[in-house]
Structure 1
Amino acid sequence: MDKVKLFWSKTNRWHRGLFILLLVELRVFPGGQLGFQCNDPALSHPFNGDTISWKWLLATSIFVPLIVMLIVERKYHNEKSSKSKLAVEWFKEYLYGLLVNLLIVQTLKLIVGSPRPHFFDTCSPNEAQTCQESEYVASYTCTKAHWVSQSDKSFPSGHTSLAVHAGVFLAYYLHRRTSMTYKVLVFQVIFVSTAVVCSVSRMTDHRHHWWDVLAGALIAVPVLFYTIRSLCNNFECSSNSSTPDAPISVETKIVNIPLINAKET
C-alpha cells in the first residue's frame, strides 16, 4: 500500500486521469449490464455506421480549438501575449477538461451497461432466440465477439458530450477574447451548430437513444464550467502569468517594493 501511495504521489493529474481511463477501457473492474425486453423495437434498429466517426470527432475536438485560439490571440492580442503563450496554456487546460469529460462518460458507460438501439443486430444475444413476446431478460450473452464490449455502451452519448464541450467552449472563448462582429457571430453559430448536428446524428444513426444524447449534453455543462471558470480562469490572464494582460496598479507596485527590499536584507 505504501508503494502505491508513493507511486501516486509522483504522478500528476494527467497521469492519474489517463491511468483511470485505461482501467475503464480495459474493463479491469466489472461493469453493469441492463437487460432487455424481448422484441423491443427500440433495440431492433440495424447498424448503419456513424455519420461522424470517433476519429473525426477527436481530431476536430483537439486540433480545431488550438488553431482557433492561436489565430485569435495573434490577431486580437498580439501585443499583449508573447508568441500566443496564453493560447497554448488555455489549450492545455481545455485538453484536460476534455479528458475529464471523456473519463466521466466512459465510466458511466461501464457502470450502466445500457443496450444500444442496434443491440439485437450487433449483439445477437442467445436469449433473444428463445424469449417470448415482451419477456424481460436480465442477463444475456452476445454471440458476435466484435460487439461484446460495444453493444451495451449506449448511455450516455460520448459523441454528444465531447461535441458540446468543444463547440460551446469555442463559442464562449470567442465571446471573451474577440470584439463581437458579424464574422465572429457566424463562427460561434457554426461551432454550436456543429455540436447540435453531431448530437442529432447519434439518434438518426440509431447509435444512441434520445435520453443518452440528453445525458451526454448535460454532462458536458458542469465539465465546461469547471474548464472555463477554474482551469482557464474565464480566459483572463492568470496572476502567475508574466504577460501584461492584467494591468498592475500603482498601489500594487508600491506595496511590492518594500517586500523585495526586505528579502534582500
Structure 2
Amino acid sequence: MDRVKHLWSKTNRWHRVIFILLIVELRLLPNHQLGFQCNDPALSHPFTGDTISWKWLLATVALLPLVILLIVERVYNKDDSERSKHQALCWYKEYMFGVLINLTLVQLIKVLVGAPRPHFFDTCNPQEAGSCTGSEYVSSYTCLKAHWLSQSDKSFPSGHTSLALHTGVFIAYYLHQRTKHLVRSKAVLSAQVLSILSAVYCALSRITDHRHHWWDVLAGAVIGVPILFYTVASLCKNFDCPNVGKEDTSEDKPNTSITCDTS
C-alpha cells in the first residue's frame, strides 16, 4: 500500500485522468447493459453512419481552439510574439485538460449505463429478438454482430454533443473576453456565432443520424456545461492563466515569457 501511495504521489493531474480513461477504454470495468423491449420502434432505426465522424470531431476539438488562440493572442500582443505564443499555449493546455475530463466522464458513464442506441436492432442484432413477442422486456442479450458489440449499447450520453459544446462555447466565450475592450469586428462576431451554431448542428445531427436519442443529447449538454465552467473559471481563471510565472519588472529587460503550471 505504501508503494502504491508513493507511485500515486509521483503522478500529476494529467496522469490520473488518463489512467482512469485507460481503465474505461480497456474495458477493465464491468460493462453494464440495459435491456430492451421487443419491437421497440425507438431502437429499430437503420444505421446510416455519422454526419460528423469521431475523427473529424476530435480533430476539430483539438486543433481549432489552438489556431484561434494563437491568432488572437498574436493580434493582442502584436509587439511581443514570444509572449503571445506562451499565453496561447498556456490556455490551450488548460482547455485540453478540460476536454480530457469531459471525454473521460462521458466514456465512464457510457460503460456504467449501457443504453441501447436507436439503431440497436440493426447493428447488434440481438439473438433474443428472434423469439420476442409483443412488447416483452429482455433484460440481457447477446449481439450476433460482434463488431458492433462495444458500440450498440453506448447511447447514453452523447459524447459528440458534450465535446462540441465544450469547444464551441469555449471559443465564443474566449473571443468575448479577449475582445470586450476592443471595437468588435464582424469577423469576431461571425466566429462566435459560427462556433455556437456548429456545436448545435453537431448535437442535432446525432438525433437525425439516429445515433442517439434526444435525451442522450440533452445529457451530453448537461455534462458539458459544468466541465466547461470549470475549465474557464477555475483552470483558465477567466482567461487569466493560473500560476503564471512572475514577470521580470526590470526596467531594462521587459518580460517576454509566460510559464503555466500544467501538472
Q: TM-score, structure 1 length as denominator?
A: 0.89
What stretches of structure 2 of length at least 5 have no aligned partner? 250-263
Contact between 2:77 and 2:84, CA under 8 Å: does it hold in 1? Answer: no
Does residue 13 (structure 1) correspond to residue 13 (structure 2)? The answer is: yes
Spell out, residue by residue over 1:102-161, the C-alpha distance to the aligned partner (whole angstroms, 9 max, x if none).
011001000000000000000001110001110000111111110111100000000000
If each structure's helix is expressed as a fraction of its own residues, which one has the higher value?
A: 1
Does residue 172 (structure 1) correspond to residue 176 (structure 2)? The answer is: no
Q: What's the CA shift for 1:77?
A: 2.6
CA distance in 1: counterparts of 2:228 and 2:147, whole angstroms? 34
Contact between 1:51 and 1:201, CA under 8 Å: does it hold in 2? Answer: yes
Does residue 136 (structure 1) correspond to residue 137 (structure 2)? The answer is: yes
Q: What's the CA shift for 1:26?
A: 1.3
Q: What's the CA shift for 1:243?
A: 5.3
CA distance in 2: counterparts of 1:233 and 1:78, whole angstroms? 23
Partner of 1:198: 202
**In structure 2, what residue type is equivalent to 1:76?**
Y
Contact between 2:91 and 2:241, CA under 8 Å: does it hold in 1? Answer: no
CA 1:44 to 1:6, structure 2 compared with 1: closer, same or farther past 3 Å? same
**In structure 1, what residue type is equivalent to 2:147?**
H
Spell out, residue by residue over 1:44-102, the C-alpha distance to the aligned partner (whole angstroms, 9 max, x if none).
00001111000000000000000000000001233467142111000000000000000
CA 1:108 to 1:161, structure 2 compared with 1: closer, same or farther past 3 Å? same
Does residue 221 (structure 1) correspond to residue 225 (structure 2)? The answer is: yes
Partner of 1:109: 110
**In structure 2, what residue type is equivalent to 1:36?**
F
What stretches of structure 1 of length at least 5 have no aligned partner? 248-265
Partner of 2:191: 187
CA 1:22 to 1:238, structure 2 compared with 1: closer, same or farther past 3 Å? closer
After the TM superposition, which residues 17-28 of structure 1 pair with which residues of structure 2 at under 5 Å, given as runs? 17-28=17-28
CA 1:236 to 1:117, structure 2 compared with 1: closer, same or farther past 3 Å? same
CA distance in 1: counterparts of 2:201 and 2:243, whole angstroms? 38
CA distance in 2: counterparts of 1:59 and 1:53, whole angstroms? 10
CA distance in 2: counterparts of 1:230 and 1:83, whole angstroms? 21
CA distance in 1: counterparts of 2:84 and 2:175, whole angstroms? 19
Q: What's the CA shift for 1:200?
A: 0.5
Partner of 2:255: none
Percent identity over the alignment is: 64
Q: What's the CA shift for 1:27?
A: 1.2
Aligned length: 245
Contact between 1:61 and 1:163, CA under 8 Å: does it hold in 2? Answer: yes
CA 1:82 to 1:144, structure 2 compared with 1: closer, same or farther past 3 Å? same
Partner of 1:97: 98
**SS of equivalent residue, structure 1 residue 235:** coil
**In structure 1, what residue type is equivalent to 2:198?**
T
Partner of 2:257: none
Partner of 1:86: 87
Contact between 1:237 and 1:243, CA under 8 Å: does it hold in 2? Answer: no
Contact between 2:156 and 2:212, CA under 8 Å: does it hold in 1? Answer: yes
Q: TM-score, structure 2 length as denominator?
A: 0.90
Does residue 3 (structure 1) correspond to residue 3 (structure 2)? The answer is: yes
RMSD over aligned CA atoms reads 1.5
CA distance in 2: counterparts of 1:176 and 1:57, whole angstroms? 25
Partner of 2:259: none
